[in-house]
Amino acid sequence: MKTKNNIYLLYFYLFFAQLFFDRALWVIYLGDKGMTFGEIGLLEALLHLAIVLFEVPTGMIADLYGRKISLIIGNLFSLLYALLMLVSGTFTVFTLAFLSMGLMVTFHSGAEQSFAYDTLKNAKREGEYTRIIGSMTAISLLSLSLAKFLGGFMAEISWEWVYGSTIVTHVLAVIPLLFMKEPEREKTEDIGGRWYNQWVHQFKLGVRVWKNNRVIHRPVVLFILASAVMVIIVFYGQEYFIQLGFSSVVVGAIFTIEGLLGVVMAKIAYKVEARFKFFNILHYGLVLFLLFFILFIFANDWAILLSFLFLAQLLSLFEPIFSSFVQGFLESNVRSTFLSLIGLMESFVIMISFPLFGYAIERSGFTDGFAGLLLIFFVLAVGYLVAGRLRVKRKG
């Protein structure tokens, strides 16, 4: 079978593609370059603006023209990001770097998962998807943890080491992509007319999945909210831990531990999925997320670190289970498109909340900022669940 090595090649690709040595340090780097928290928040917002604008079009590229093409283009934007960060010293060039990173995310988003699922589907091994996506997540987290750990030491030498090494590893990431074979999949019917008519039709197919499958609404909404919260906690947490008195090396080590624990969570996700009902995992996970979020805000120094680690692990455990659940409702011709729609909404939430949080902590500090974030998350997540139950009762 032409695609029998796809999964292994995908593993190698993911390892190199996740070696961003600045991932636990870029907020510190931008601060060293003279950027304020507000400007840093704006840069992150611009990254997510690029994702919002291009997430669905690039997802449709993966469905219409191939996942392999999408991944190669995305990796080229990874190289551009690292190069621009290396040479930049101004807000304008940093903006171009973050827009490049946003485009990289959009070309990768959904394409990796779709590539894996369709490869398994061709071999009639769809039942192994949660285990495989767990392994993919574990490899990504292991690679990213290694990058965070080494990045701390590289930053002690020079930032040129950090971004130069990132360029080298993303050149290496292209090699396994060249040997991967595009799996056969259902393709969207050709409706004729100009190219944009086909794209509009593809977008409508993605929206139709959402309209026709109400059962996925709750998990999708809660996953988007929790993911957005964790992005804020992770990236602003870099500077927060520095203010608590930890060095850049220690911060790198903290995020390394977080990533290594995430590897374990991703690897055992399929066992948790087999033992518990999906919606029990969803609801109990939400309660634990809220509990550890509270501890993260109001505990003492080391307890804050432990709460941060638990928060991150809940999401690492749930993500493969969530992906498997959603994939069961998708056809191959709309797989990347719909996953990109989820990414679009997640990025839109982050685009709005990230800079607002940055400005909030400049005025009120981290504790009040995180407390406000907790309140907003609680109102939106729990309010959505309560509203959903009321709708069901009224219909009943």
Set out the domains of the chain in order of their start, with CATH numbers.
Answer: 9-178+194-395 (1.20.1250.20)
pLDDT of residue 188: 62
**Amino acid letter, 361:** I
pLDDT confidence bin for 3, thresholds 50/70/90: low
Asked if the model's pLDDT at residue 202 lies above 80, the reply is no
Q: Evaluate if residue 81 carries a pLDDT over 50.
A: yes
- The number of angstroms, rounded, from the C-alpha of 190 to the middle of its chain's C-alpha atoms is 32
Q: pLDDT by residue (tens digit) across 317-341? A: 999 999 999 998 988 888 888 888 8
What is the CB-side half-sphere exposure of residue 46 using CA atoms within 13 A? 17
Contact 233, 118 (CB under 8 A): no
The arithmetic mean of pLDDT across residues 282-293, rounded, is 94
pLDDT for the residue 395 = 64
Average pLDDT of the segment spanning 375-381: 92
What is the residue-averaged pLDDT of the chain?
86
Token match 């032409």: residue?
Answer: 2
User: In 244-334, which ranges are continuous DSSP H helix?
Assistant: 248-275, 278-298, 301-327
Q: Tens digits of per-residue pLDDT, 123-151? A: 888 888 999 998 998 898 888 878 878 88
Instruction: Identify the residue whose tokens are 């409508």.
Output: 204
- The string of pLDDT tens digits covering residues 207-240 is 899 999 989 999 999 999 999 999 889 878 877 8
Token pair listed for 283: 């609801």
> Is-contact 233 374, C-beta < 8 A?
no
Please give the biggest Cα pair distance in the chain. Answer: 65
* Phi (first) and psi of residue 264, to 5 degrees: -65, -45
Measure the CA–CA gap between 91 and 35, rounded to whole angstroms.
8
Q: What whole-number distance in Å separates Cα of residue 139 and Cα of residue 13? A: 10
Cα 346 to chain centroid, rounded: 9
Res 187 pLDDT > 80: no
Query: What pLDDT score was predicted for residue 384?
Result: 86
The pLDDT value given to residue 1:
47
Looking at residue 55, what is its pLDDT? 81
pLDDT digits 0-9 by tens, 41-75: 788 788 878 888 888 888 888 887 888 999 999 99
Spatial CA neighbour of 84 closest among 99, 98, 97: 97
10 Å CB burial of residue 193 (0-12, 13-18, 19+) is exposed
